[in-house]
Amino acid sequence: MRKTIYKEIFCEGPPESVWQSLTNPEEISAWLMQTSDFRAEVGAKFTMQAKPMGKWDGVIYGEVLVAEKFSVLSYTWKGSQMKSTTILKWTLIPESDGTRLKMEHSGFSGLGDYVLGIFHAMGWNRFLKQLNNLIRKNGKK
Amino acid sequence: MAKNKSDVFKAIADPTRRKIIELLMISGALPITAIAGDFKSARQVITRHIYILEKAGLVSIEDSGRERYCRAEYLPLREIFDWVSLYEKFWDEKLDALQVHVKQKNKTGKKMN
């Protein structure tokens, strides 16, 4: 199973502008998720609010790990129902007419906790436990 | 074996079929007669459920002597429950939104810090 998601986009704006979109709570709320306490400072803790689903309240908890202004931003990303803490890393690369933005979301393990939460709420516990065991037993394929 | 996701969802939406998969996941391969023996429903009903599961790629059936052995196939389920693929979709959407957001912001000449 893949454990890291890599994405890359090109933004029509300088790194300073993209950095602001990634770190300003108002802007984060506009394109990603509702947040009011995000600060681009190492060690700063924050929450983001997604749409609640099933028993999941939709809250994402995070802590800033790296904040190199206009260049690298990294923070932890953990839903209240998630077993593993995942890590997001944003890298901004200036280009002549904009910014290349690379995103890495790593640290996934096991089945989708996000989905598990929903299905647990539906009473599929036993089913998912068996499935999870089977997948572990069978290893990578 | 890669089946349509909606087939897989439809297949597992039914509690009897989920029970059949559970049973097969716990026991490994089982003959259809043995599976049917575990349920109160008529054997034909269970057999029909098994064929739906087979069509969705969740169960494979192998003939051995006079019996038809069923085995749970977990790969289609794994694809569905794999949160990496879910998050992948999530980020595709969010990054599109970010791209539009940055573009708009720079077009309107909004002040930057």
Are B27 and B70 in contact by the 8 Å Cβ rule? The answer is: no
Residue A16: give its domain's CATH number.
Answer: 3.30.530.20
Q: Please check whether residue B80 lies inside any domain of the structure.
A: no
Say yes or no for a CB contact (<8 Å) between A114 and B91. no
Contact: B102, A13; criterion CB under 8 Å: yes
Please give the residue of chain A at the shortest CA–CA distance from B24. Answer: A130
Mean pLDDT score, B54-77: 89
Q: Report the alpha-carbon angle A25-A93-A108, nearest 5.
A: 65
Chain A residues with CB inside 8 Å of B102's CB?
11-13, 17-18, 21, 99
Q: How many folded domains does chain A comprise?
A: 1
- What is the pLDDT averaged over residues A22-41? 95
Cβ within 8 Å, pair B102-A138: no
Could you tell me the two tokens for A121? 């709420």
pLDDT of A12 reads 93
Instruction: Give the 3-state secondary structure of B81-92.
Output: HCHHHHHHHHHH
Tell me if B89 is assigned to some domain.
no
**What's B69's domain CATH number?**
1.10.10.10
In a domain, B43, yes or no: yes
| pLDDT at residue A55, rounded to an integer | 56
Q: Taking 80 as the threshold, does the pLDDT of residue B84 lie above it?
A: no
What CA–CA distance (Å, rounded) separates A61 from A76? 8
> Would you state the pLDDT for residue B28?
80
B3 pLDDT above the threshold of 60: no
pLDDT digits (tens, 9 = 90+) for A106-125: 887 655 554 555 555 555 55
pLDDT of residue B72: 87
- What's the N-to-C CA distance of chain A in angstroms? 7
Residue B52 has pLDDT above 60, yes or no: yes
Is B93 contained in some domain? no
Q: Which residues of A touch B106 (CB under 8 A)?
A: 12-14, 17
Q: How many angstroms away from the CA of A63 is the closest CA of chain B?
A: 19
| pLDDT value at A127 more than 70 | no
For position B27, what pLDDT does the model report?
79
Distances (CA, A) of A108 to A55, B69, B84: 21, 35, 7
Is residue B51 within 8 Å of residue B35, measured between CB atoms? no
Distance of CA B7 to the CA centre of its chain: 8
**A112 or B7: which carries more pLDDT confidence?**
B7
Size of interface A-B (CB pairs under 8 A): 110
Q: With contacts defined as CB-CB under 8 Å, which chain B residues touch A20?
A: 112-113
Owning domain of residue A29:
2-139
Write the DSSP string, A1-63.
---EEEEEEEESS-HHHHHHHHH-HHHHHHHT-B-S----STT-EEEEE---BTTB--EEEEE
User: By residue range, what is the domain housing residue B47?
Assistant: 5-75
pTM, two decimals, is 0.62
State mean pLDDT over B46-58: 94
Chain A residues within an 8 Å CB radius of B21: 127
Residue B31 corresponds to which tokens in the numbers above?
């003959």
Q: What is the C-alpha separation between A121 and B55, in angstroms, rounded?
A: 27
* pLDDT of B80: 66
Is the pLDDT at A56 greater than 50, yes or no? yes
Q: Which residue in chain B has the smallest CA separation from A23?
A: B113
Report CB contact under 8 Å: B82, A18. Answer: no
State whether B84 and A5 contact (CB < 8 Å).
yes
In three-state secondary structure terms, B56 is: coil
- How many domains does the structure of chain B reveal? 1
- Whether pLDDT at B19 is above 90: no
